[in-house]
Amino acid sequence: MTDLSKLSEEQKQTVSALATISA
């Protein structure tokens, strides 16, 4: 598990996109 930072960043972007669509 060396892509923890990348995964976290990707997940954050996904959540941001979802929030923007939901908003």
Going residue by residue through the chain, which has 23 residues, state the pLDDT in tens, using 9 for 90 and above: 577 788 899 999 999 999 999 87
- Tell me the C-alpha distance between 22 and 8, whole Å: 21
pLDDT value for 23? 75
pLDDT value for 2? 72
Q: pTM, whole model, 2 decimals?
A: 0.50
- 1-23 burial string, b = 16+ CB within 10 Å, else e? eeeeeeeeeeeeeeeeeeeeeee
pLDDT value for 7? 81
pLDDT value for 10? 92
Report the Cα 15 to chain-centroid distance in Å.
Answer: 5
Give DSSP secondary structure letters for 1-23: ---HHHHHHHHHHHHHHHHHHH-
